[in-house]
Structure 1
Amino acid sequence: MVLQNLRSFLCIPLAVTVVLSSAVPFSSGAAAAAFSHQHRLMASATPLQSQSPVSPPVAKKVEHAMEMFGDVRIDNYYWLRDDSRTDPEVLSYLSQENAYTESIMSGTKKFEEKVFAEIRGRIKEADITAPLRKGSYYYYKRTLEGKEYVQYCRRLLPDNQKVPSVHDTMPTGPEAPQEHVILDENVKAQHHRYYSIGSFEVSPNNKLVAYAEDTKGNEIYTVYVIDAETQALIGEPLVGVSYLKWAGDDALVYITMDETLRPDKAWFHVLGTEQSKDTCLYVEKDDTFSLGLTTSESKKYLFVESESKNTKFNFYLDVSKPEEGLKVLTPRVDGIDTTISHRGDHFFIKRRSDQFFNSEVVACAVNDTSSTTVLIPHRESVTIQEIQLFSDHLVAYERENGLQKVIVYHLPPIGEPLRSLESGQAISFGDPVYSVDSSDSEFSSSILRFSYSSLRTPSSVYDYDMNAGISVLKKIDSVLGGFDATRYVTERQWAHASDGTLIPISIVYRKDLVKLDGSDPLLLYGYGSYEVCVNPSFKSARLSLLDRGFVYAIAHIRGGGEMGRQWYENGKLLKKKNTFTDFIACAEYLIENKFGSKERLCIDGRSAGGLLIGAVLNMRPDLFKAAIAGVPFVDVVTTMLDPTIPLTTAEWEEWGDPRKEEFYFYMKSYSPVDNVKAQNYPNILVTAGLNDPRVLYSEPAKFVAKLRDMKTDDNILLFKCELGAGHFSKSGRFEKLQEDAFIYAFIMKTLNMIDQL
Structure 2
Amino acid sequence: MKQKQSQLPYQWPAIEAPLAIRRPRERVLHEDRVVDDYYWLNDYFKNGPNRDEVIEYLKAENAYVDGMMAGTKDFQDQLFHELKARIKEQDESVPYLKNGYYYYIKTEEGKQYFKYCRKKGTLEAPEEVLLDVDQMAEGHPYFSVVGFDVSPDTHLMVFGVDTLSRREYTLYIKNIRTGEFYPESISGTTGDVAWANDNETFFYTAKNPETLLTEKILKHRLGKDSKTDEVVYEEQDKSNYIGVERAKSGRFIYINSSATTSSETYFILADQPESAFKCFQKRMKDVLYEVTALEDRFLILTNKDALNFKLMECPLDRTNIAHWKEVIGHREDVLLEGVDEFKDFLVVTERRNGLAQFQIRHLGSGENYYLDFGEAAYTATTGANMEYHTDVLRYNYTSLTTPSSVYDYRMSTREKVLKKQQEVLGGYDPTAYISERIYATADDGVKIPISLVYQKAVPRDSNAPLLLYGYGSYGASMDPSFSSTRLSLLERGFIFAIAHIRGGQEMGRQWYEDGKLMKKKNTFLDFIACARHLIAQGYTSREHLYAQGGSAGGLLIGVVMNEAPELWNGLIAQVPFVDVVNTMLDENIPLTTNEYDEWGNPNEPEAYWYMKSYAPYENIEAKDYPHLLVTTGLHDSQVQYFEPAKWVAKLRAIKTGPQVLLLKTEMDYGHGGASGRFDYLKDVALNYAFLLTLEGIFN
TM norm structure 1: 0.89
The residue type paired with residue 435 of structure 1 is T
Task: Output the CA distance in 2 between the equivalents of 1:601 and 1:201.
Answer: 46
SS of 1:379 mapped into structure 2: coil
Task: Output the CA distance in 2 between the equivalents of 1:657 and 1:130.
Answer: 45
Residue pair 2:356, 2:381 contacting (<8 A) in 1 also: no
SS of 1:396 mapped into structure 2: strand
Aligned to 1:468: 413
Aligned to 1:150: 114
SS of 2:324 mapped into structure 1: strand
The residue type paired with residue 51 of structure 1 is P
Counterparts of 1:176-325 in structure 2, within 5 Å, are 176-242=124-190, 243-248=192-197, 249-258=199-208, 259-325=210-276
Task: Give 1:235 shift.
Answer: 4.0
Question: Which of the numbers 387, 396, 401 marks the counterpart of 1:456?
Answer: 401
Question: Which of the numbers 309, 312, 332 marks the counterpart of 1:359?
Answer: 309
Counterparts of 1:699-710 in structure 2, within 5 Å, are 699-710=643-654
Aligned to 1:109: 73
Question: Which of the numbers 423, 433, 436 marks the counterpart of 1:491?
Answer: 436
Task: Give 1:84 shift.
Answer: 4.7
Task: Output the CA distance in 2 between the equivalents of 1:622 and 1:230.
Answer: 64
Counterparts of 1:495-510 in structure 2, within 5 Å, are 495-510=440-455
Aligned to 2:389: 444
Task: Output the CA distance in 1 between the equivalents of 2:21 and 2:640.
Answer: 19
- Is 1:72 aligned to 2:33, yes or no? yes
The residue type paired with residue 332 of structure 1 is R
Task: Output the CA distance in 1 between the equivalents of 2:28 and 2:289.
Answer: 40
Residue pair 1:182, 1:229 contacting (<8 A) in 2 also: no
- Is 1:396 aligned to 2:396, yes or no? no
Residue pair 1:382, 1:564 contacting (<8 A) in 2 also: yes
The residue type paired with residue 550 of structure 1 is F
The residue type paired with residue 119 of structure 1 is L
Task: Output the CA distance in 2 between the equivalents of 1:344 and 1:482.
Answer: 48
Aligned to 1:478: 423
The residue type paired with residue 255 of structure 1 is T
Task: Output the CA distance in 1 between the equivalents of 2:260 and 2:590.
Answer: 15
Task: Output the CA distance in 2 between the equivalents of 1:206 and 1:458.
Answer: 34
Task: Give 1:506 shift.
Answer: 0.9
Call closer, same or farther: CA 1:85–1:536 in 2, change over 3 Å: farther
Aligned to 1:648: 592
Question: Which of the numbers 638, 655, 659 marks the counterpart of 2:603?
Answer: 659
Aligned structure 1 segments of 4 or more residues deviating by more than 4 angstroms: none
The residue type paired with residue 194 of structure 2 is K
Task: Output the CA distance in 1 between the equivalents of 2:348 and 2:358.
Answer: 6
SS of 2:511 mapped into structure 1: helix
Residue pair 1:584, 1:616 contacting (<8 A) in 2 also: yes
Aligned to 2:288: 337
Aligned to 1:137: 101
Residue pair 1:559, 1:571 contacting (<8 A) in 2 also: yes
Structure 1 gap ranges (5+): 1-31, 159-169, 171-175, 414-420
Aligned to 2:363: 411
What number of residue pairs does the alignment pair up? 690
Aligned to 1:60: 21
Task: Output the CA distance in 2 between the equivalents of 1:550 and 1:247.
Answer: 52
What do residues 232-291 of structure 1 show as CA deviations (whole Å, max 9, x unaligned)? 113411111124222222221111122311101011111121112211111111111121
SS of 2:167 mapped into structure 1: coil
Task: Output the CA distance in 2 between the equivalents of 1:571 and 1:85.
Answer: 36
Task: Output the CA distance in 2 between the equivalents of 1:376 and 1:155.
Answer: 39
Residue pair 2:311, 2:327 contacting (<8 A) in 1 also: yes
The residue type paired with residue 265 of structure 2 is N
Structure 2 gap ranges (5+): none
SS of 2:172 mapped into structure 1: strand
Question: Which of the numbers 553, 559, 566 marks the counterpart of 1:609?
Answer: 553
Task: Give 1:294 shift.
Answer: 2.8
Question: Which of the numbers 444, 456, 469 marks the counterpart of 1:525?
Answer: 469
Task: Output the CA distance in 2 between the equivalents of 1:438 and 1:315.
Answer: 25
- Is 1:692 aligned to 2:653, yes or no? no
Residue pair 2:13, 2:67 contacting (<8 A) in 1 also: no
Aligned to 2:301: 350
Moved more, 425-434 or 251-260: 425-434
Task: Output the CA distance in 2 between the equivalents of 1:644 and 1:319.
Answer: 36
Residue pair 1:432, 1:490 contacting (<8 A) in 2 also: no
Aligned to 1:92: 56
Task: Output the CA distance in 1 between the equivalents of 2:511 and 2:237.
Answer: 27
Residue pair 1:453, 1:459 contacting (<8 A) in 2 also: yes
Task: Output the CA distance in 1 between the equivalents of 2:37 and 2:696.
Answer: 35
SS of 2:631 mapped into structure 1: strand
Question: Which of the numbers 373, 382, 403 marks the counterpart of 2:334?
Answer: 382
By relative contact order (CA 8 Å, sep 6+), the higher-ranking structure is 1
TM norm structure 2: 0.97
Question: Which of the numbers 645, 659, 669 marks the counterpart of 2:613?
Answer: 669
Question: Which of the numbers 324, 334, 350 marks the counterpart of 1:372?
Answer: 324
